[in-house]
């Protein structure tokens, strides 16, 4: 923990803490989540408010009259869509830039993250889990890479050299080079930002979901979402496939492994329907 | 009087997206497809008709979603490969002269897992090509890497770029 905190504190440009998100998640889990309280939360962040309004006026949702009021926008888009938009807008600033240490150009990690988020909410719906939490965990699962990439940009090939020499996974290579891996680091940052334990634990164990009790179902969703995003060819870096297989995710989620290819097709369809919505202006 | 300007031939770069394909008999065309992970990139080229095509497919078998296979044949091996061949034959390519190259089919670590879509893609491709009387001229398949594949229609040369290495490597020379 101290090691992770020390590393995080070393970073010059830490991603801005998405202050609204933990509060919004808390609101989501309470019984009195109504549009007025959501408006209160997001109206003072011009970036968030503008993006919610823009989304409510995209072709998918636009009626004859343009929406200029946040309350009406939330009514038109629905609470879940607004929540997921707020998550995406909050994360976009951190996830958009190139992550050179991982061989990802500008927008690559962003695209991978949004695709994982979309796969996550689809899987959550199919398996009776909370789709907003699954979307959030899917979207933020690689947050740790943003921090690592800032620090080791200068010797970015050390990870790949280790990985190729040892034939190990990216996670194992990070552990050998840095002493910890991106899942631990991202999880720690989410803890510091007061995200619910379900999200930070699922992020920490997204490469080893069976160890994530009691949040192993969410961690399994994130593992599978990550894999589906790679299968869709979205946002690769170097050696994107260098991770271990976790066959148990299917039994944890009660899914037939034969469904995997169908899930890839369904995620692609879902991604296409919301692509315009999530073209977020930073 | 100044000399008349000489015309410098230029490449016409065409990007082939995921679950998409394209063919051409325009010798200036260079096809490129990015982000080949577990997906397969398949190029065909007839050096006599000077026809080339590139396909970027995702999954082995359209029986999981037959409607999708009809609407978007380039997504699955069993619908994509026949579609690519038909398009090339329409431009006067002939099967006996076709050179087929393959790249992609990356795998996550560990064998015997439920996630081996890359390998299933490759196995399905071999079956489909055999059924169509074709063999693979050159291939770079498997591993954990992400590849970019380029086909030059003028001479049929195919080059690869692997994420993490600076140089392009030839897969098939003209």
What is the structure's pLDDT at A64?
A: 63
Distance in angstroms (rounded) separating the CA atoms of residues A30 and A147: 32
Cβ atoms of B144 and B151 closer than 8 Å: no
Please state, rounded to an integer, the average pLDDT across all residues of chain B. 94
Q: Is B104 on the interface with A (CB under 8 A)?
A: no
Q: Is A157 on the interface with B (CB under 8 A)?
A: yes
Q: Does the structure show a pLDDT above 70 at A281?
A: no
Interval A211-234: pLDDT, tens: 999 999 999 999 999 999 999 987
Distance in angstroms (rounded) separating the CA atoms of residues A58 and A62: 6
Share of chain B above pLDDT 90, in %: 86
User: Residue A32's pLDDT band (boundaries 50, 70, 90)?
Assistant: low
Q: Does the structure show a pLDDT above 90 at B89?
A: yes
Interval B146-158: pLDDT, tens: 999 999 999 999 9
Helix (H, G, I), strand (E, B) or coil at B165: coil
What is the structure's pLDDT at B2?
A: 61
Please state, rounded to an integer, the average pLDDT across all residues of chain A. 87
Q: Does the structure show a pLDDT above 80 at A277?
A: no
Helix (H, G, I), strand (E, B) or coil at A211: helix
Q: Which of A31-40, A76-85, B89-98 has the highest mean pLDDT?
A: B89-98
B164 to A169: CB separation less than 8 angstroms, yes or no:
no
ipTM field: 0.91
Helix (H, G, I), strand (E, B) or coil at B14: strand
Q: Is B133 on the interface with A (CB under 8 A)?
A: no
Cβ atoms of A112 and A229 closer than 8 Å: yes
What is the structure's pLDDT at A60?
A: 59
- Pairing of the two strands B99-104 and B136-141: parallel
Nearest-neighbour CA in chain A from B152: distance (Å): 23
In this structure, what token pair is assigned to residue A62? 């636009």
Q: Which residues lie closer than 8 Å to A237 by C-beta, 6 or more apart? A: A99, A102, A103, A104, A108, A109, B146, B163
Residues in chain A within 8 Å Cβ distance of B56: 233
Interval B124-169: pLDDT, tens: 999 999 999 999 999 999 999 999 999 999 999 999 999 877 789 9
Interval A101-152: pLDDT, tens: 888 888 899 989 999 999 999 999 999 999 999 999 999 999 999 999 888 8
CATH classification (class only), B12-172: alpha beta
Please state, as a whole number, how many other Cβ atoms lie within 10 Å of the Cβ of residue B1. 3
Q: Which residues pair with B100 in a beta bridge?
A: B44, B136
Handedness of CA B146, B150, B151, B156 (dihedral sign): negative
Per DSSP, B50 falls in state: T
- At the second CATH level, the architecture of A2-13+95-274 is Orthogonal Bundle (1.10)
User: Residue B16's pLDDT band (boundaries 50, 70, 90)?
Assistant: very high
What is the structure's pLDDT at A217?
A: 98
What is the structure's pLDDT at A101?
A: 85
What is the structure's pLDDT at A235?
A: 76
Residues in chain A within 8 Å Cβ distance of B161: none
């Amino acid at each position: 923990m101290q090691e992770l905190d020390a590393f995080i504190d070393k970073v010059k440009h830490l991603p801005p803490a998405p202050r609204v998100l933990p509060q919004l998640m808390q609101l989501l889990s309470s019984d009195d989540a109504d549009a007025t309280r959501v408006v209160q939360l997001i109206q003072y962040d011009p970036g968030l408010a503008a993006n919610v309004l823009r989304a409510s006026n995209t072709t998918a949702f636009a009626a004859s009259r343009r929406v200029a009021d946040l309350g009406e926008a939330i009514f038109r888009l629905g609470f879940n869509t607004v929540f997921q938009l707020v998550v995406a807008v909050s994360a976009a600033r951190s996830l958009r830039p190139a992550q050179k240490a991982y061989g990802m150009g500008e927008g690559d990690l962003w695209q991978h993250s949004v695709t994982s988020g979309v796969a996550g909410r689809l899987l959550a719906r199919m398996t009776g889990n909370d789709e907003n939490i699954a979307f959030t965990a899917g979207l933020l699962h690689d947050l740790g890479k943003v921090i690592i990439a800032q620090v080791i940009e200068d010797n970015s090939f050390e990870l790949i050299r280790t990985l190729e020499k040892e034939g190990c996974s990216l996670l194992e290579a990070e552990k050998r080079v840095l002493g910890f891996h991106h899942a631990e680091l991202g999880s720690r940052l989410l803890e510091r930002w007061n995200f619910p334990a379900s999200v930070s634990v699922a992020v920490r164990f997204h490469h080893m979901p069976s160890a994530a009790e009691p949040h192993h179902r969410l961690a399994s969703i994130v593992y599978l979402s990550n894999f589906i995003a790679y299968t869709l060819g979205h946002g690769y870096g170097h050696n994107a496939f260098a991770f271990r297989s976790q066959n148990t995710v299917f039994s944890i989620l009660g899914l037939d492994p034969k469904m995997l290819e169908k899930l890839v097709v369904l995620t692609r369809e879902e991604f296409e329907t919301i692509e315009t919505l999530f073209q977020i202006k930073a | 009087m100044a000399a008349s300007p000489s015309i410098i031939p230029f490449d016409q770069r065409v990007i082939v997206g995921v679950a998409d394909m394209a063919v051409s008999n325009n010798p200036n065309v260079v096809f490129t497809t990015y982000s080949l992970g577990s997906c397969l990139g398949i190029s065909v080229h007839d050096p006599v008709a000077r026809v080339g095509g590139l396909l970027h497919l995702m999954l082995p078998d359209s029986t999981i979603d037959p409607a999708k296979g009809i609407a978007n044949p380039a997504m699955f091996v069993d619908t994509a490969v026949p579609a690519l061949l038909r398009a090339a034959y329409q431009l006067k390519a002939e099967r006996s002269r076709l050179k087929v190259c393959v790249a992609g089919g990356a795998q996550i670590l560990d064998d015997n897992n439920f996630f081996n879509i890359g390998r299933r893609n490759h196995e399905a491709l071999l079956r489909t090509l055999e059924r169509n009387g074709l063999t693979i001229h050159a291939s770079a398949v498997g591993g954990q890497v992400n590849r970019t594949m380029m086909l030059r229609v003028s001479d049929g040369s195919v080059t690869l770029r692997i994420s993490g290495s600076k140089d392009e490597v030839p897969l098939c020379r003209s």
